[in-house]
Amino acid sequence: MLPSVEHHHRLLCAWQLAVLRFAVTLSDSDRLNVAALAAELDRLGGRRSGEDSLHFFRRTSSHLCAAIDGQRQDAEATLDCFCKQIDEPRLRLAFAAAVGLARSKPARSKPQPKRDPNLFRGLPARLPASL
């Protein structure tokens, strides 16, 4: 039985969360969790024989963990690229904050609606209610 697309999506989200957790804790157990989820994602990507098997998520996880640890010269570019690929806005912001990426655009506040001074003109005045 083939895993569903939703299962793949949940597993991808779990991997992204695991990378975030490693960025926060820098723990070896969290690094191993990232590697395990990456191996599972690669396994689901397609079964090929021996040397030809896909290793995209394992390779990416290795690069990300090394960048988070500061072991790569291109760490900021690697982390920024990964951050831009995260679809969930809250997860993206949390990851950017965890690894210290500067936000390129400040968060915009919602524009306040303009109040029309004539909005209630013509309506009868209400008497104050007494309790």
pLDDT tens, position by position, 20-56: 999 999 999 999 999 999 999 888 876 555 544 568 9
Residue 67 domain boundaries = 5-46+53-99
Q: What is the largest CA-CA distance in the chain?
A: 83
Q: Where are the alpha helices (DSSP H) in 1-120?
A: 5-25, 28-45, 56-69, 75-84, 89-99
Among 66, 42, 46, 40, which Cα is nearest to 56's? 42
Q: Is residue 24 part of a domain?
A: yes
Q: For each of the chain's 131 residues, which pLDDT tens digit applies?
A: 456 788 888 999 999 999 999 999 999 999 999 999 999 988 887 655 554 456 899 999 999 999 999 888 899 999 999 999 999 999 999 999 999 987 655 555 667 677 777 777 877 777 777 76
Q: So what's the pLDDT on residue 20?
A: 96
> What is the model's pLDDT at position 122?
79
Examine residue 66 and state whether it is found in any structural domain, yes or no.
yes
Any domain includes 22: yes
User: Residue 122 domain-assigned?
Assistant: no
Torsion of CA 38, 44, 47, 48, to 10 degrees: -40
Q: Report how far residue 94's alpha carbon sits from residue 125's, in angstroms, rounded to the nearest whole number.
A: 50
Return the amino acid letter for 45. G
Total domain count for the chain?
A: 1
Q: Report if residue 128 sits inside a domain.
A: no
How high is the pLDDT of residue 108?
Answer: 58
Q: Is 70 left (phi over 0), alpha (psi -120 to 50) or beta?
A: left
pTM of the complete model: 0.70
Burial class (CB in 10 A: 0-12, 13-18, 19+), 82: buried
In a domain, 12, yes or no: yes
In a domain, 118, yes or no: no
Task: Identify whether 114 is part of a domain.
Answer: no
